[in-house]
Amino acid sequence: MQIFHSIQTLQNFLKLSRLEGKSVGLVPTMGALHQGHLSLIEASKNENQVTVCSIFVNPTQFNNAHDLAVYPRTLESDCEMLTSAGCDVVFAPTVEEIYPQLPNLKFDFGDLERVMEGTFRPGHFNGVGIVVSKLFNIVQPDGAYFGQKDLQQCAVINRLVKDLSFSLKLNICPTLRETDGLAMSSRNRNLSPEQRALAPHIYKALQKASQLLQEGTSGEAVKVAVQNYLSEIPAIALEYFEISNFDTLQPINELSEGKTALCIAAFMGKTRLIDNVIV
Ligand code: PAF
C-alpha cells in the first residue's frame, strides 16, 4: 500500500494508474477507522482497480474546539487496517497541504442544512462541502463511498455532486453496527466503559420509534416516547430526534409516502453520537 502526504505525489501516482486504464475509488475519512470504514473500502475495491482512502481530520467542519482536539488520530493503526483490507493508497495530508490558506468560499445547502446537524453544528456542512470538493478535485475519482450513518452529510454531498457537476458515482453504503446495535463510529472510542455499555439505547430508541410509527402512532407522540425512553438513562442527553422525509430531510409528522428517516443525536458526556434508521 502506498502512503502519500502531498497532493503532488498522490496525483503523480494516480496519473500513471489512469494511463493504465484503472478506475479509481475514493473513501474519504477522518481516520480512527473501524469495520464500517472497511466496508466502504470493500465496496470501492469491488468496483475499482485502485482504492484511495483519505485520512484527514478536517478542522473547518468542527464547530466545537473540544471535539476537534479529542478527535482520535491513529494513523499508524489505520494504515495497518487498510493494508489488511487491501486498500491501495492512503492520502494523509497535513492541514497546511489542504489549507495553504483558509478558504473564504461559503456553501449554502439551503433547507437541507437548516435541520438537525446543520442547526446544532453551525458551519459544519460548509466545512464538509469545502473539504469534500477539494478531495474530489485532488483525486478525481470515478466513484466515492460514504456511510449512511451520516445521512444528512450524504444528502448534502449528493447535492454538491449535482450542483458542481462532479463526474463521479456517489455510493451510500449501509451503517455497520456492533453486535449490541450501537452504530460503529470513530467517536465510540471516546466513551468510558460505563457509557459504552449504555450507548446502544440510542439505537433502541430509534427501533422503538420505528415500531410506534409503523403501528400508526403520531409523530408528536413518537417524539414524546423517545424523550421519555431516553430520560430513563441519565448518561444519554438527547440533542434531537427527528422524523424526516428521506429525500428532503424536512420534518414530517407521520410516515411519508416514500422512505422516512428517523434521525437522532445525543451526548454521552462530551461525546456526541448520531444515528438513524430508515422506515
Ligand atoms: O464523514 C467523515 O468522516 C467526514 O465528514 C468526511 C466526509 C471525511 C469529510 O471530512
Give percent of the chain with pLDDT exceeding 90.
98
Q: Determine which residue's CA is closest to atom 8 belonging to ligand 1.
A: 29
For residues 20 and 150, state if they share a domain: yes
**pLDDT score of 84 more than 80:** yes
Residue that terminates a domain, selected from 173, 208, 242: 173
Q: Tell me, yes or no, whether 179 lies in a domain.
A: no
Q: Is the Cβ atom of 148 under 6 angstroms away from ligand 1?
A: no
CA dist., res. 69 & res. 71, Å (int): 6
What is the mean predicted confidence (pLDDT) over 81-88? 98
pLDDT score of 190: 94
Q: What is the mean pLDDT of the chain?
A: 97
pLDDT score of 116: 98
CA dist., res. 204 & res. 225, Å (int): 12
Residue that terminates a domain, selected from 152, 173, 194: 173
Query: If you write DSSP's letter for every residue of 206-242 in order, what string do you get?
Result: HHHHHHHHHTT--HHHHHHHHHHHHHT-TT-EEEEEE
pLDDT score of 258: 86
* Vertex 46 angle, CA 80 and 53, to 5°: 40
pLDDT score of 254: 85
What is the mean predicted confidence (pLDDT) over 254-269? 93
pLDDT score of 181: 98
pLDDT score of 10: 99
Residue linked to cell 469495520: 35
How are beta strands 271-278 and 260-268 bridged, if at all?
antiparallel
The pTM for the full model equals: 0.97
Clarify whether 37 is annotated catalytic.
Answer: yes
pLDDT digits (tens, 9 = 90+) for 107-123: 999 999 999 999 999 99
pLDDT score of 210: 97
The ligand 1 atom at the shortest distance from the C-alpha of residue 135 is 9
| C-alpha cell recorded at residue 43 | 465496496
Residue that terminates a domain, selected from 173, 194, 220: 173
**pLDDT score of 101 more than 80:** yes
Write down the catalytic residue from 37, 66, 124, 201: 37
**pLDDT score of 256 more than 80:** no
Q: Determine which residue's CA is closest to atom 1 belonging to ligand 1.
A: 29
Cα 152 to ligand 1 centre (Å): 12
For residues 78 and 162, state if they share a domain: yes
Residue ranges making up the domain that contains 240: 186-278
pLDDT score of 255: 84
Contact 116, 276 (CB under 8 A): no
pLDDT score of 219: 97
CB atoms within 10 A of CB 234: 8
Q: Is the Cβ atom of 188 under 6 angstroms away from ligand 1?
A: no
**CATH code of the domain covering residue 157:** 3.40.50.620
